[in-house]
C-alpha cells in the first residue's frame, strides 16, 4: 500500500483563521503522515516537505495550501529535490476556494477535510511522468512600438537577440510623440519628449538585430514558451523604401482627414508622414481614406509609390513575446455634461499638449480653437472618466492625469505669464518626489480647488464651469476661456486584441493582468509572454520604461536557455487501440496520426484538453494528468462522506479560465456556501455523460459546468465547444436527470463576479429543489 | 401596450393623454386603457404622505393588473410613474419583499408575478419617430425648440435613458429633429424645473429661484417652444412662468411631446391636445408650424 504525506499550510492566518488546521492535523494523523507550517512556500516550509518525503519514504504528497496557480511549480520543485516524481503531487486549494470564500469555521474545516480526502483518493491513481524538452528559439517579438516597446526591443537587441518589433501605425513612437513635453521633478521644468524619444527611435532603425514591421498586427499564434509560431498581418506597403520624404505627394493629394498624431487638432492628407522624425522615415498611404486617384504616384520622382500593393502575411518564430500595446484616452463625449464636442473651447489635455507643442497646429502658441484668441482663464477638470463608477466610467485612478495637469499648468505659467489657471481635482496624486513639483506649481500661483466639476455651460458666449468647493462647502461657477479635461487612460483596442489573440489573461479592467502584482509585475499568466507599459495598467513614462526593461530581462532569461521543459499532460494510447481512427477525426490540432494502423499522439501538438478520450470505442485513449481513474477518483472523493440532508454541488471548471476565475472570487473575498465543490478539468471537453451520471449516482445534487469564454479547446473554437456541451447536456437529460440540476455557463475571467453570481443562483435553486435522493424517492 | 395614466397629467393637462391616445389610434396601435388602474401615488410618496409599503403594495397591484391583462408593456405618460414603477419592480425582485407584498395582495385576490416592463410614452414616440414624421401634416422647420427631459426620467434610472446619456439626454431632441425642428442648447439644460415635490410644499423660495434660473436660461436662447415629457415640469414651466413674466420680459409656450406630435399629425387643438389648459398661449407656435 502506498504511503502518502499531507502538508497543511496556515498561510499566516489566511487559511488558519478560517480553517482549524490543528483539527485537520489531528484527523489525518490517524491514517497518514501529516505536517503543517505557517508558510509551506517558504524555504523552511519546503525543507519540511522535502525532509518528510525522505524520512517517511513517501510515495505521494498532498499539499493543502493556496491555488496551484500560485505555488504549483514551487511544490513540484520540492518533489524533484526530494527525489519524487513531481506528478505524484496533488495540490488541494484550501485558500482561494475554501478559507477565503467560506464564512463559518466549522463548515470551512469540514470542506477542507473533504477536499484533502478527494486529493488523497486521486493521488492513489497518480502516475510518474517525465517532461519534454523544447529547443528554445533565440528570437523575440515585441508587440507595440511606443516608448515601452521601443525600450524593450532595444534592450533585447543590445543583448544580441534577434527582435521583431510589430507596430500597427506607420511609425513607431506611440503616445509619447503626441504629449510634447515631459516634466522633471528634479529641475522643476518641462523638457521636450521628442528630444528623448527620437534618438531611441533612430537606434531601433539602425540596430541590425531589430526587424521593424510597421502597419502590422498579430493575427495568430501557437506553440509554447521557448517556441512560438506567430502570424503577422501587414497592411499594404504602398510607399516603398525608395521614398525620400520630399513631400510632393502630400501637396497634390486631394484628401484631407483629421490627424491622429496631432490629436485631431489639425488635418493631414491621405498620403502623409506622421511627423517629421517618423521611423521609418517615409510617407505612407492611409488606405481607409485614399481614393486611388493616382496623383501622388505621378508626382513622385523616386517612383516609390505602389498603389497596387497588397496586404501580406509574415510568419515568424520566436522564443518569447513582450506585449507593449499601450492605452487609449477615455472618450470625453461619454461625459456630455462637460460639453466636449459641443463647445470648441473644451479640449482634452492631449489636445492642449498639441496646441502648446511647437510642432502642433498653432506652432506652440497658446491659442484657443474657437476664435484663435489667447485664453486668459483656464479651468482644468480632473478625473474625467477616471475614478468614476457611473456607466462607461473607469473605476480606477488613471495615475498620470494629475501630473499631466501640473505639467501643462507649469508650462503655461512660465511661457504665457498672466494666464489664470484653476485645477478642479478629486485628490491630487503626486507620489514620491512628484510632490515637490506639485508644491512648486502651487507656489507659482496655479489655483487648486477640491471638487468635481458638475458641468460646463455656455452663457452669453462664455464658458462657465460649475463645481462644489468641497473644502469650503461652497458651490462655484468659474468663468473660463478654455476648459481642459484630464481624461482617463483605458486599455487600447490593440491591448484587448492582442490579449485575445495571444490568449493571455486580462484583468476586469481589460488591461493585461500581471502574474503577480508585487513579484512578477512584467510577466503574464502565460509562460513566455511578458508585458510592459500602459498595456498592463495606467502608468507614466518613467515606470513604463522601467517595466519594459524588466520585461526584456524576463524574455532574455528565457531565450538564453537551450531548452525549456514542457509538461507532459497530453493524450496517450493504450494497447486496446483497434485503429478505427475516430480520435484522428476528433482532434482539431492534428495531434493524432495513424501509424501502422494504430493511433499515435504527438505530445507537442496535443494541447491536453482530452476531447478525444471518450470518442474511442475501445477506451484506448486516456489523458496524462487527468486520467479516467483520476477524474473518477476526484468525483468520488469530493462527494465522499456526504452527511444527511447535506447538499453538494459539483462545479467542473476548465483549468485555464474557469478555475482561475474561481480563484479570483476567493481573492476578492466573495462568499459562497460550502455546498459548492470545484473540480478542475483541463477542458470541459474532457467530460463525458458518464462522468456527470457518476456524480449524480454518488450523491451530487447539482452539476455546474463552467467553460472559459472564447477559449479554444482541443483546437475547437468556442462555438463548437458550446455545441458539444449542449449535446452532453441533452444526453445526460436523456439518462433521466432533471435538466434543472445541470447548468452550463460561459466563464469570462475579468467577469469573475458573474461566475460567482451564477454559482450562487445555481446553489440556491438546487437547495430550493432539495436533495436529489429525496426527489428520486418521491414517486 | 398598457396605457398607464397619470394623476398630474390628467388633472392639469388632459391633452397629454388624449394626444397620446390620438397618436396610438392614428397608427392603429393596440393598447389597453384599464379602468381599474390606480394612481401610482408617486407624488404623494415623494412628499412623504404615502408610506413606502403602501406605495409598493398598490403598484404591485397595478403591475399585476397589467400582467393579467396580457398587455405587459406598461407605458407611462408621467416620468414619476415611470421611475416609481421601475423602483417597485426592483424591490419586488427581492423574494422576501415579494412574498410580504403578495400576502397583502392576497386579501384583494391579486398576485404579483413579475413579467412586466415599464417604458415612458416618449420612448414609444422615439422608436416611432421616422414613421410619425412621414405621416406629419405639419413641419417644425421654422421652429426653434428647447427641450427639458425631467429629473425622474433622466436621473433615477440614469443608465437606462434612451437617446443620449443621462447628463445630456437627446430623446426629445431627436423626436423634434425628426420633424425638422431646430434645437437650441441652453445653459441650465440639466437643471430641475423647480418642482422638487416636497420642496414645492416646504420651501417655495428655493423652488421658485430654481424655476427662475431655468426659465431665464431658456429664454436667453429665444426658442419658440419648450418641449417636456413630464406633466409636473410642464405645470411649473407653463403655469409658473406668468409669475416671472415681468422679470423675464417675455414668455415661451410649453408643450408635452405627445401634444406636439399629435398636433403635427393633425390632432384637434382643443378636443385632442386641449391647448385651452395651457397658461402661456400656444397660438404663436401654431402659426410657425408649416403645413406639408
Q: For A231-243, write each residue's pLDDT tens digit.
A: 999 999 999 999 9
Question: B72, B92, B121 — which closes off a domain?
Answer: B121
Q: Which of B167, B183, B188, B206 to mutate to test the interface with A (most CBs of A within 10 A)?
A: B167
**Range A411-436 average pLDDT:** 96
Question: What is the pLDDT at residue A710?
Answer: 57
Are A583 and A596 members of one domain?
yes
Question: B67, B90, B121 — which closes off a domain?
Answer: B121
For residue A553, pLDDT over 60 is answered with yes
Are B72 and B14 members of one domain?
yes
Provide the shortest C-alpha distance from residue A100 to chain B (in Å).
Answer: 27
Query: Residue A368 falls within a domain, yes or no?
Result: yes
Q: For A242-299, write each residue's pLDDT tens digit.
A: 999 999 999 999 999 999 999 898 999 999 999 999 999 999 999 999 999 999 999 9
For residue A434, pLDDT over 90 is answered with yes
Q: Which residues of A touch B214 (CB under 8 A)?
A: none
Q: What CATH number is given to the structural domain containing B194?
A: 3.40.50.11810
- How many domains does chain B divide into? 2
The answer to whether the Cβ–Cβ distance between A336 and B167 falls below 8 Å is yes
Query: Residue A181 falls within a domain, yes or no?
Result: no
Are B84 and B219 members of one domain?
no
pLDDT band at A712; cut points 50, 70, 90: low
Q: For A165-205, write each residue's pLDDT tens digit.
A: 999 999 999 999 999 999 988 888 898 999 999 999 999 99
Residue of B nearest to A342 (CA): B185
Q: What CATH number is given to the structural domain containing B105?
A: 1.20.1050.140
Omega cis (within 30) before A280: yes
**Range B135-153 average pLDDT:** 97
Are B147 and B192 members of one domain?
yes
- Whether A133 contacts chain B with CB within 8 A: no
Question: A457, A473, A490 — which closes off a domain?
Answer: A490
Are A594 and A661 members of one domain?
no
Question: Which residues span the domain enclosing B112?
Answer: 2-121
For residue A601, pLDDT over 80 is answered with yes
- DSSP count for chain A of H helices, then E strands: 21, 38
Are B249 and B152 members of one domain?
yes
Q: What CATH number is given to the structural domain containing A718?
A: 3.40.50
Are B195 and B86 members of one domain?
no
**Range A618-624 average pLDDT:** 94
Whether A94 and A112 have beta carbons less than 8 Å apart is answered as: yes
Are A594 and A717 members of one domain?
no
Are B42 and B148 members of one domain?
no
- Whether B144 contacts chain A with CB within 8 A: no
For residue A735, pLDDT over 90 is answered with no
H or E segment and range at residue A689: helix A689-697
- Whether B93 contacts chain A with CB within 8 A: no
Are A600 and A683 members of one domain?
no
Q: Which residues of B touch A337 (CB under 8 A)?
A: 167-168, 190
Q: Which residues of B touch A460 (CB under 8 A)?
A: 220
Q: Which residues of A touch B96 (CB under 8 A)?
A: none
- Whether A457 contacts chain B with CB within 8 A: yes
In angstroms, the CA A734 to CA A25 distance is 44
**Range A26-32 average pLDDT:** 90
**Range A707-720 average pLDDT:** 72
pLDDT band at A718; cut points 50, 70, 90: confident
For residue B146, pLDDT over 90 is answered with yes
Q: For B240-286, write each residue's pLDDT tens digit.
A: 899 898 999 999 999 999 999 999 999 999 999 999 999 999 999 99
As for the ipTM of the complex, it is 0.89
Are B137 and B105 members of one domain?
no
pLDDT band at B91; cut points 50, 70, 90: very high
| Radius of gyration for chain B, computed over Cα atoms and rounded to the nearest angstrom | 19
Query: Residue A45 falls within a domain, yes or no?
Result: no
The answer to whether the Cβ–Cβ distance between A336 and B220 falls below 8 Å is no
Are B272 and B238 members of one domain?
yes
Are A339 and A458 members of one domain?
yes
Are A677 and A738 members of one domain?
yes
Q: For B214-224, write each residue's pLDDT tens digit.
A: 999 999 999 99
Query: Residue A409 falls within a domain, yes or no?
Result: yes
- Whether B167 contacts chain A with CB within 8 A: yes
- Whether A331 contacts chain B with CB within 8 A: no
Query: Pick from B164, B165, B187: which is nearest to A457 by CB?
Result: B187
| A/B interface, count of CB pairs below 8 Å | 28
- Whether B159 contacts chain A with CB within 8 A: yes
The answer to whether the Cβ–Cβ distance between A390 and B164 falls below 8 Å is no
Query: Residue A276 falls within a domain, yes or no?
Result: no
The answer to whether the Cβ–Cβ distance between B167 and A335 falls below 8 Å is yes
Question: What is the pLDDT at residue A711?
Answer: 57
Question: Which residues span the domain enclosing A589?
Answer: 570-608+615-623
Question: A439, A456, A490 — which closes off a domain?
Answer: A490
Are B157 and B61 members of one domain?
no
Are A588 and A633 members of one domain?
no
Q: Which residues of A touch B164 (CB under 8 A)?
A: 336
**DSSP letter for each residue of A416-457:** STT-EEEEEES-----TTHHHHHHHHHHTT-EEEES-EEEEE
Provide the shortest C-alpha distance from residue A458 to chain B (in Å).
Answer: 6
Q: What CATH number is given to the structural domain containing A591?
A: 3.30.70.20
Are B217 and B287 members of one domain?
yes
Q: For A672-692, write each residue's pLDDT tens digit.
A: 999 999 999 999 999 999 899
Query: Residue A406 falls within a domain, yes or no?
Result: yes
For residue A513, pLDDT over 50 is answered with yes
Query: Pick from A337, A390, A458: which is nearest to B168 by CB?
Result: A337
For residue A433, pLDDT over 70 is answered with yes
Q: C-alpha cell of A336?
A: 456630455
Are A597 and A669 members of one domain?
no
- Whether A334 contacts chain B with CB within 8 A: yes
For residue A776, pLDDT over 70 is answered with no
Residue of A nearest to B190 (CA): A337
Question: B81, B104, B121 — which closes off a domain?
Answer: B121
Break chain A down into helix, strand, coil percent, rounded to 5: 35, 25, 40
**DSSP letter for each residue of A700-737:** -SEEEEEEETT--BTTB-HHHHHHHHHHHHHHHHHTT-
The answer to whether the Cβ–Cβ distance between B220 and A459 falls below 8 Å is yes
- Whether A389 contacts chain B with CB within 8 A: no
Are A600 and A668 members of one domain?
no
Residue of B nearest to A333 (CA): B165
Q: Which residues of A touch B168 (CB under 8 A)?
A: 336-337
**Range A204-212 average pLDDT:** 97
Query: What mean pLDDT value characterizes chain B?
Result: 95
- Whether B165 contacts chain A with CB within 8 A: yes
**DSSP letter for each residue of A89-124:** EEEEE-IIIIITT---HHHHHHHHHHHHHHHHHHHT
Are A438 and A580 members of one domain?
no
In angstroms, the CA A529 to CA A620 distance is 36
The answer to whether the Cβ–Cβ distance between A458 and B187 falls below 8 Å is yes
Are A451 and A593 members of one domain?
no
Provide the shortest C-alpha distance from residue B92 to chain A (in Å).
Answer: 17
Query: What mean pLDDT value characterizes chain A?
Result: 93
Question: What is the pLDDT at residue A619?
Answer: 92
For residue A779, pLDDT over 90 is answered with no
- How many domains does chain A divide into? 3
Are B140 and B249 members of one domain?
yes
Are B185 and B104 members of one domain?
no
For residue A778, pLDDT over 50 is answered with no
Query: Hey, how many other C-beta atoms are within 10 angstroms of the C-beta on A760?
Result: 15
Are A663 and A699 members of one domain?
yes
Query: Residue A446 falls within a domain, yes or no?
Result: yes
For residue A719, pLDDT over 80 is answered with no
**DSSP letter for each residue of chain B:** -EEE--HHHHHH-THHHHHHHHHHHHTT---B--TT-----HHHHHTT-S-HHHHHHHHHHHHHHHHHHT--EEEESSHHHHHHHHHHHHHHTSHHHHHHHHHHHHTTT-------EEEEHHHHHHHTHHHHHHH-SEE-TT-EEEEE--HHHHTSSGGG-SSEETTEE-HHHHHHHHTTPEE---TTTTS--S-TTHHHHH-HHHHHHHHHHHHHHHHHT--SEEEES-HHHHIIIIITHHHHHHHHS----EEEHHHHHHHHTT--TTTTS-GGG-SS--HHHHHHPEE-
In angstroms, the CA A689 to CA A635 distance is 13
Question: A589, A623, A657 — which closes off a domain?
Answer: A623
Amino acid at each position: 500500500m502506498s504511503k502518502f504525506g499531507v502538508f497543511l499550510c496556515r498561510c499566516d492566518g489566511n487559511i488558519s483563521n478560517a480553517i482549524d488546521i490543528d483539527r485537520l492535523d489531528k484527523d489525518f494523523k490517524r491514517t497518514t503522515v501529516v505536517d503543517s507550517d505557517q508558510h509551506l512556500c517558504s524555504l523552511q516550509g519546503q525543507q519540511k516537505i522535502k525532509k518528510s518525503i525522505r524520512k517517511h519514504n513517501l510515495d505521494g504528497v498532498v499539499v493543502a495550501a493556496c491555488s496551484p496557480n500560485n505555488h504549483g511549480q514551487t511544490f513540484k520543485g520540492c518533489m524533484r529535490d526530494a527525489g519524487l516524481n513531481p506528478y505524484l503531487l496533488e495540490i488541494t486549494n484550501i485558500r482561494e476556494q475554501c478559507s477565503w470564500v467560506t464564512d463559518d469555521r466549522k463548515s470551512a474545516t469540514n470542506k477542507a477535510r473533504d477536499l484533502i480526502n478527494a486529493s488523497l483518493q486521486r493521488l492513489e491513481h497518480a502516475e510518474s511522468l517525465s517532461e519534454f524538452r523544447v529547443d528554445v528559439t533565440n528570437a523575440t517579438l515585441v508587440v507595440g512600438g511606443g516608448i515601452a516597446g521601443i525600450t524593450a526591443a532595444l534592450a533585447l537587441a543590445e543583448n544580441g537577440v534577434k527582435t521583431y518589433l510589430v507596430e500597427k501605425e506607420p511609425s513607431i513612437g506611440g503616445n509619447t510623440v503626441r504629449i510634447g513635453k515631459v516634466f522633471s521633478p528634479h529641475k522643476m521644468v518641462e523638457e521636450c519628449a521628442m528630444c528623448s524619444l527620437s534618438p531611441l527611435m533612430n537606434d531601433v532603425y539602425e540596430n541590425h538585430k531589430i526587424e521593424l514591421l510597421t502597419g502590422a498586427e498579430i493575427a495568430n499564434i501557437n506553440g509554447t514558451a521557448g517556441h512560438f509560431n506567430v502570424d503577422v498581418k501587414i497592411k499594404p506597403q504602398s510607399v516603398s523604401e525608395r521614398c525620400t520624404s520630399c513631400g510632393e505627394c502630400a501637396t497634390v493629394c486631394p484628401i484631407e482627414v483629421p490627424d491622429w498624431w496631432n490629436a485631431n487638432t489639425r488635418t493631414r492628407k491621405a498620403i502623409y508622414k506622421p511627423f517629421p522624425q517618423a521611423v521609418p522615415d517615409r510617407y505612407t498611404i492611409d488606405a481607409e481614406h485614399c481614393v486611388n486617384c493616382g496623383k501622388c504616384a505621378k508626382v513622385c520622382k523616386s517612383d516609390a509609390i505602389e498603389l497596387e500593393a497588397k496586404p501580406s502575411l509574415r510568419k515568424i518564430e520566436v522564443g518569447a513575446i513582450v506585449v507593449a500595446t499601450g492605452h487609449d484616452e477615455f472618450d470625453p463625449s461619454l461625459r456630455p455634461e462637460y460639453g466636449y464636442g459641443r463647445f470648441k473651447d473644451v479640449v482634452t489635455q492631449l489636445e492642449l499638449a498639441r496646441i502648446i507643442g511647437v510642432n502642433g497646429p498653432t506652432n506652440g502658441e497658446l491659442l484657443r480653437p474657437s476664435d484663435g484668441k489667447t485664453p486668459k482663464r483656464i479651468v482644468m477638470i480632473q478625473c474625467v472618466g477616471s475614478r468614476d463608477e457611473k456607466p462607461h466610467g473607469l473605476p480606477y485612478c488613471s495615475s498620470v492625469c494629475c501630473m499631466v495637469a501640473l505639467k501643462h499648468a507649469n508650462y503655461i505659467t512660465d511661457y504665457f505669464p498672466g494666464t489664470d489657471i484653476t485645477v478642479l481635482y478629486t485628490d491630487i496624486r503626486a507620489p514620491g518626489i512628484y510632490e515637490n513639483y506639485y508644491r512648486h506649481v502651487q507656489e507659482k500661483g496655479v489655483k487648486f480647488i477640491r471638487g468635481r466639476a458638475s458641468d460646463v455651460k455656455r452663457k452669453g458666449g462664455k464658458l462657465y464651469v460649475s463645481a462644489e468647493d468641497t473644502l469650503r462647502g461652497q458651490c462655484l461657477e468659474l468663468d473660463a476661456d478654455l476648459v481642459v479635461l484630464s481624461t482617463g487612460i483605458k486599455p487600447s483596442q490593440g491591448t484587448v486584441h492582442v490579449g485575445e489573440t495571444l490568449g493571455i489573461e486580462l484583468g476586469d479592467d481589460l488591461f493585461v493582468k500581471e502574474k503577480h502584482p508585487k513579484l512578477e509585475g512584467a510577466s503574464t499568466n502565460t509562460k513566455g509572454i511578458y508585458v510592459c507599459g500602459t498595456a498592463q495598467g495606467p502608468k507614466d513614462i518613467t515606470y513604463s520604461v522601467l517595466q519594459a526593461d524588466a520585461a526584456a530581462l524576463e524574455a532574455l532569461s528565457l531565450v538564453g536557455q537551450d531548452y525549456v521543459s514542457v509538461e507532459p499532460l497530453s493524450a496517450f494510447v493504450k494497447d486496446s487501440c483497434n485503429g478505427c481512427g475516430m480520435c484522428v477525426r476528433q482532434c482539431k490540432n492534428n495531434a493524432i496520426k495513424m501509424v501502422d494502423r494504430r493511433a499515435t499522439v504527438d505530445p507537442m501538438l496535443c494541447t491536453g484538453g482530452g476531447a478525444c478520450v471518450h470518442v474511442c470505442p475501445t477506451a484506448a485513449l486516456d489523458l496524462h494528468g487527468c486520467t479516467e481513474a483520476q477524474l473518477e477518483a476526484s468525483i468520488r472523493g469530493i462527494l465522499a462522506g456526504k452527511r444527511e440532508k447535506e447538499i453538494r454541488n459539483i462545479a467542473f471548471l476548465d483549468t485555464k479560465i474557469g478555475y482561475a476565475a474561481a480563484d479570483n472570487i476567493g481573492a476578492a473575498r466573495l462568499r459562497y456556501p460550502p455546498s459548492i465543490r470545484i473540480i478542475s478539468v483541463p477542458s470541459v471537453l474532457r467530460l463525458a455523460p458518464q462522468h456527470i451520471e457518476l456524480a449524480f449516482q454518488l450523491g451530487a445534487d447539482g452539476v455546474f459546468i463552467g467553460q472559459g469564454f472564447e477559449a479554444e479547446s482541443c483546437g475547437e473554437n468556442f462555438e463548437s465547444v458550446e455545441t458539444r456541451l449542449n449535446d452532453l447536456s441533452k444526453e445526460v437529460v436523456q439518462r433521466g436527470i432533471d435538466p434543472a440540476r445541470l447548468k452550463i455557463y460561459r466563464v469570462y475571467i475579468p467577469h469573475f463576479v458573474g461566475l460567482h453570481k451564477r454559482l450562487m443562483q445555481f446553489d440556491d435553486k438546487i437547495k430550493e429543489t432539495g436533495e436529489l435522493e429525496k426527489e428520486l424517492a418521491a414517486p | 401596450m398598457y396605457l398607464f395614466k397619470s394623476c398630474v397629467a390628467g388633472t392639469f393637462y388632459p391633452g397629454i393623454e388624449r394626444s397620446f391616445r390620438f397618436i396610438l389610434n392614428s397608427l392603429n396601435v393596440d393598447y389597453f386603457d384599464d379602468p381599474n388602474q390606480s394612481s401610482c401615488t408617486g407624488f404623494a410618496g415623494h412628499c412623504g404622505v404615502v408610506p413606502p409599503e403602501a406605495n409598493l403594495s398598490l403598484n404591485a397591484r397595478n403591475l399585476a393588473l397589467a400582467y393579467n391583462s396580457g398587455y405587459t408593456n406598461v407605458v407611462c405618460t408621467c416620468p414619476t410613474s415611470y421611475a416609481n414603477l421601475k423602483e417597485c419592480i426592483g424591490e419586488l425582485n427581492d423574494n422576501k419583499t415579494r412574498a410580504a407584498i403578495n400576502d397583502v395582495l392576497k386579501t384583494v385576490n391579486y398576485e404579483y408575478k413579475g413579467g412586466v416592463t415599464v417604458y415612458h410614452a416618449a420612448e414609444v414616440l422615439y422608436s416611432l419617430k421616422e414613421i410619425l414624421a412621414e405621416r406629419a401634416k405639419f413641419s417644425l422647420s421654422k421652429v426653434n425648440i428647447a427641450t427639458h427631459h425631467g429629473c425622474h426620467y433622466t436621473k433615477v434610472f440614469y443608465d437606462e435613458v434612451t437617446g443620449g446619456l443621462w447628463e445630456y439626454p437627446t430623446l426629445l431632441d431627436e423626436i423634434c429633429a425628426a420633424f425638422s425642428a431646430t434645437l437650441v442648447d441652453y445653459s441650465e439644460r440639466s437643471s430641475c424645473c423647480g418642482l422638487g415635490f416636497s420642496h414645492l410644499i416646504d420651501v417655495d423660495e428655493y423652488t421658485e429661484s430654481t424655476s427662475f434660473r431655468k426659465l431665464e436660461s431658456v429664454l436667453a436662447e429665444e426658442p419658440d417652444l419648450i418641449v417636456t415629457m413630464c406633466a409636473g415640469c410642464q405645470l411649473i414651466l407653463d403655469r409658473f412662468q406668468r409669475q416671472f413674466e415681468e422679470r423675464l420680459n417675455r414668455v415661451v409656450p410649453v408643450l408635452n411631446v405627445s401634444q406636439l406630435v399629435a398636433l403635427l399629425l393633425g390632432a384637434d387643438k382643443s378636443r385632442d391636445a386641449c391647448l385651452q389648459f395651457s397658461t402661456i398661449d400656444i397660438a404663436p407656435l401654431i402659426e410657425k408650424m408649416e403645413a406639408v
